[in-house]
Chains A and B, each alone.
Chain A
Amino acid sequence: MSDTQTNSIAYVRDTMLPEAEPPATERGLIKWGRENLFADVPNAILTIISAIVIYKLLVGLMPWLLNGIWNAPSIRDCREMLDGATGGCFAVLTERWNQLLFGFKYPSEEYWRPTLAFVLLFLAAAPVMFFKYLPRQMLAFTAVYPFLAYYLIWGGTIWVPIFAALGFVAGYVAWTKLVNRSFAAGFFGAIVAAMVAWWIGGMLSDALAPENPFLPAVPSRDMGGFMLNMILGTVCVSLSLPLGIALALGRQSDMPIIKWICVIFIEFIRGVPLITLLFVANVVLAYFLPPGTTFDLILRVIIMITMFSAAYIAEVIRGGLAALPRGQYEAADSLGLDYPQAMRLIILPQALKISIPGIVNVAVGLFKDTVLVSVISMFDLLGMIRGPILASTEWNGVYWELFGFAAVLFFVVCYGISQYSQWLERELQTDHR
């Protein structure tokens, strides 16, 4: 600038203006609302309709929830306490809590046993579910858990679970000795060793049974409530996983006879509803067992449900096996691995990873399907509600509280499992995307 023009005005601004706020409609809640709720006319109408629906639901539901009576001996007392006001009668839950969880026959002084088994279930499942974060030594407890849980829930002589476990140990020892020779020898050797151990154990446990066992025996027909759903769910899922893998491998196999046995089994089971299989467990299976044997109903139901879910899991895993690129199979061959090695080390880990969402879907579906046993008059959670509780004079008519409780209980468990599976999927993701 020359000195002569002291009062010159710059053509361009030489100072920064402070940043202006975006217009009121383009920031904060209003912007979010405009974009997410009132983007155009149809959207605005939808928003208003759903807001009205939510409002109506809340207005109807909140007094019922907040006004609820949690302490009353019967529904009449409940109604008296409410005195015409809207409110749920949740007293039935507190009153019948133990029945809802354990059924009405399980001896009440033994409730700590299934409760302890339930708590330990988390300890046993943790090293499997969070295998990256927990030490592998904890898996030892997982291996012990089935026998421990059986002993805790059913009680009786301690030798039964001990000999059952010893059978597995014998099988494992035979396997490690023989597997170096060939897989088949190890496999059949293990089966034979376990059978022999169980046979000997079966004879010994009768002789060794003490007069007064440490934990009194509870017969299967006394199991009930949500405990029964949990038992059926966990046992059947864990048993059907290996069976399902075997069926899937069989269906993918080159050997026509094995393949057709698996195909017929899977298609047959998948074609009929679970109810008919439960009928089979209830009324027909007894005809196929040796005369004079009495199999208890829970065991028969476990067999049928396990077969049912194994067929579905097999189909899921078959999808995983088919989704693996051909190159993986060829790579295993070119390394000189034989069939069991290739499956164990290369194919199955990847196939199972692909099938995780499907397997979890089957597991969740199976857990939900355990309420079907109420149809063959077993007193699981739903059976308890529809039978002894709603039929009792004290609680006749408390529908919503009870069914709502059952729905919430199942929702919590199933939603939890599916959230876990999504977490696991992210955890196992090895491709970098």
Chain B
Amino acid sequence: MTTLTDPPQESFRLSMLLNDTRYRSYTFQFIALVCVIGLVAYLASNLVANLRAAGLNISYEFLGEPAGYDINQRLIEYDSQSSHWRASVVGILNTLLVAFLACVTATILGVFAGVLRLSHNWLIRKLMAIYVEAFRNVPVLIWIIIIFTIMTAVLPSPRAFRGDDAEASMLFDAFAFTNRGVYVPKPILDSGGWIVVITFLLSVIGVFAYRRYATKLLFDTGKLLPMGWPSLAILFVPSLLIFFILGRPIGLEYPELKGFNFAGGINVRGSLIALWFALAIYTGAFIAENVRAGIQAISKGQTEAAASLGLRPGRIMNLVILPQALRVIIPPLISQYLNITKNSSLAIAVGYMDITGTLGGITLNQTGRAIECVLLLMAFYLTISLGISALMNVYNNSIKLKER
């Protein structure tokens, strides 16, 4: 009678840590972990030693102290007596402002250029190719500085607008392009002004509601409501009606030449314009390529099939090509938005006071708190990056191909 014996117990040898696949991954991970912890500990000990030698410590108390410098471009109240923290918030808002403006403009430019690069028109095609290649292959910093130079060194000073036969003149008596920035009319809200604004916002919501209702009606009953003119009517008619009923409560304050400078209106500074346009034009070239690739990724058969069903070219684009192309276009578009936000930190090169200019620039130099400032700066950009990609991923998921 045979007895079953256990297989001989293999004794553990040290070399198995490297050669046995069961243990090897643990060995490697252990080594990696030790290396990383060692590196961090080494850096941290250096940091502590260096800080002690310099008589410094890590503290964020400087954020509460008065900043003592002025910021000429600001969206909220700020003066030189405000704290460093408030200066940073002003900077954050400025970053968000320029990033938002540039994202919108770049998307419009990019979609136009991308679609036009596929045009049948040879001249347009070549022009757009030149635009894309020229802007993609030159650093964005150079474009920012070129536009900034136009704004500050080439445009006339406000003085040139004076006199009867002035060298420079305002566009439509409303826009003045000077080396101190562009002056544009400023909307003034009287007592009833808010009602008009609120009406307009409500109309925007109304348009979306109408379009959703029309789509639902089309899918449920097959009845096709007109989309174009009712949307426009909903958008503008109520606001205009209220505007005139209340006796034109919204006016425009035009910039006027007073003394040596313009007064009234909004002064859009040259640095903001340089950053905005350079980022928009530069990133627009990249978005154009994404759009072109997205449209080209849709097989020609789709167009032909749609055409054979009797759809008109505009409908083919709207109903067949674009919904599919968007799935290809959106993910790279997200990273372009991120790039714009990150590239807006180049503001420091033209003196636009964004977060890099306030927290990473003047505050850092004044307080000497390099580590704290850079850490805060990084934390801000990380939050923005993760936030944008999270938001856009939600959108991306909502339009992606629904598969079973």
CB-based contact A291/B137 at 8 Å: no
What is the CB-to-nearest-CB distance from B299 to chain A, in angstroms, rounded to a whole number? 15
* A interface, size bucket: 35 or more
Given A36-B122, A276-B381, verify A382-B142 contact (CB < 8 Å).
Answer: yes
Q: Which of A245-269 contact B (CB under 8 A)?
A: 254-258, 261, 268
A275 — which chain B residues lie within 8 A by C-beta? 345-346, 348, 356, 360
**Minimal beta-carbon separation of B109 from chain A (angstroms):** 16
28 contacts between A and B (CB under 8 A): A36-B123, A37-B121, A43-B119, A47-B123, A50-B123, A50-B124, A182-B19, A184-B24, A255-B25, A257-B32, A261-B32, A273-B343, A273-B345, A275-B346, A275-B356, A276-B377, A284-B374, A289-B50, A291-B46, A291-B49, A369-B139, A372-B141, A375-B346, A375-B349, A382-B142, A399-B154, A410-B139, A411-B138
Instruction: Closest A residue to B29 by CB, please name it.
Output: A257
What 7 A-B pairs are tightest by C-beta distance, nearest first? A36-B122, A414-B137, A273-B342, A368-B139, A271-B385, A271-B382, A273-B345
A362 within 8 A of B: no
Interface check B127, CB cutoff 8 A = yes
Q: Are B124 and A46 in contact (CB under 8 A)?
A: yes
A364 CA to B285 CA in the complex, in Å? 15
Asked if A423 is at the interface of the complex by the 8 Å CB criterion, the answer is: no
Give the CA-CA distance A261 to B122 in the complex, in Å.
51
Name A's B-contacting residues (CB within 8 A).
Answer: 35-37, 39, 43, 46-47, 50-51, 53-54, 182, 184-185, 254-258, 261, 268, 270-276, 279-280, 283-284, 286-291, 364, 368-369, 371-372, 374-375, 382, 386, 397, 399, 403, 406-407, 410-411, 414-415, 418
Contacts of B24 in A (CB 8 A): 184
Minimum CB–CB distance from B27 to chain A (whole Å) comes to 8
Please tell me if the beta carbons of A418 and B382 are within 8 angstroms of each other in the complex: no
Instruction: Give the residue name and chain of the B residue nearest to A40 (CB).
Output: B120
CA distance A36 to B371 in the complex (A): 59
Q: How far is the CA of A43 from the CA of B116 in the complex (A)?
A: 11
In the complex formed, the residue of B with least CB distance to A259 is B29
Q: Evaluate contact between B50 and A403: CB separation under 8 angstroms.
A: no
**Complex alpha-carbon distance, A258 and B364, angstroms:** 35
User: B28 touches which one: A255, A283, A403 (CB < 8 A)?
Assistant: A255
With A47-B124, A287-B371, A403-B149 known to touch, is A276 a contact of B349 (CB < 8 Å)? no
Q: Are B18 and A182 in contact (CB under 8 A)?
A: yes
A278 to nearest B CB, angstroms?
10
CB contacts between A and B, total, < 8 Å: 158
From A258, A273, A284, A407, B32 is in contact (CB under 8 Å) with A258
**How many of chain B's residues have a CB under 8 angstroms from any CB in A?**
55
Q: B47–A37 contact, CB under 8 A? A: no
A371 and B142 contacting across the interface, CB-CB below 8 Å: yes
In whole angstroms, how far apart are the Cα atoms of A276 and B370 in the complex? 11
**Are A411 and B137 closer than 8 Å at their CB atoms?**
yes
**Alpha-carbon distance A270/B25, docked complex (angstroms):** 28
Main secondary structure of the interface of A (DSSP, over half): helix
Bound Cα distance A50, B130 (Å): 13
How far apart are A215's CB and chain B's nearest CB, in angstroms? 32
Interface residues of B (CB under 8 A from A): 18-19, 24-25, 28-29, 32-33, 36, 43, 46-47, 49-51, 53, 119-124, 127, 133-134, 136-142, 145-146, 149, 153-154, 342-343, 345-346, 348-349, 356, 360, 364, 370-371, 374, 377-378, 381-382, 385-386
Bound together, the chains give a CA A267 to CA B152 distance in angstroms of 38
Bound Cα distance A333, B25 (Å): 17
Q: Which residues of A contact B51 (CB under 8 A)?
A: 287
Q: Which residues of A contact B32 (CB under 8 A)?
A: 255, 257-258, 261
Task: Report chain A residues within 8 Å CB of B46.
Answer: 287-291
A382 vs chain B, min Cβ distance (A): 6
Q: What are the residues of chain A within 8 A of B133 when measuring CB–CB?
A: 411, 415
Which chain B residues border A274 with CB–CB below 8 Å?
342
Closest to B386 in A: A271
Q: Which of B134, B356, B382 contacts A268 (CB 8 A)?
A: B382
Q: What residues of B have a CB within 8 angstroms of the CB of A53 in the complex? A: 127
Cα–Cα, bound, A369→B28 (Å): 35
Min Cβ gap A52→B in Å is 11
CB-CB under 8 A from A272, the residues of chain B are 342, 377-378, 381-382, 385
Contact A39 B50 (CB under 8 A): no
Q: Considering the chains assembled together, what is the distance between the CA atoms of A274 and B343 in angstroms?
A: 8
Interface contact A399-B18, CB-CB below 8 Å: no
Determine whether the beta carbon of B141 is less than 8 Å from that of A254: no
Residues of A within 8 A of B119 (CB): 43, 46
Complex contacts, A182 vs chain B, CB 8 Å? 18-19
Q: Verify A372–B346 contact, CB threshold 8 A.
A: yes
Knowing A254-B25, A272-B342, A415-B137 are in contact, say whether A406-B142 is a contact too (CB < 8 A).
Answer: yes
CA distance A415 to B285 in the complex (A): 14
Chain B positions within 8 Å of A374 at CB level: 141, 349
Residue among A37, A254, A287, A371 with max Cβ neighbours from chain B (10 Å) = A287
**Once bound together, how far apart are the Cα atoms of A280 and B374, in whole Å?**
7
Apart from A47-B124, A272-B382, what are 8 other A-B pairs with CB-CB below 8 Å? A47-B123, A270-B385, A283-B364, A287-B47, A368-B140, A374-B141, A382-B141, A407-B142
Whether B138 contacts A414 by the Cβ 8 Å rule is yes
User: In the complex the two chains form, what is the Cα distance from A276 to B140 in whole Å?
Assistant: 17
- Point out the residues of chain B lying under 8 angstroms from A273, CB to CB: 342-343, 345, 356, 381
Q: Would A410 and B137 count as touching, CB distance under 8 A?
A: yes
Give the CA-CA distance A274 to B338 in the complex, in Å. Answer: 13
Chain B residues, CB < 8 A from A279: 360, 364, 370, 374, 377
Among A37, A273, A288, the most chain B Cβ lie within 10 Å of the Cβ of A273
Interface centre among A53, A279, A371, A403 (most CB of B within 10 A): A279
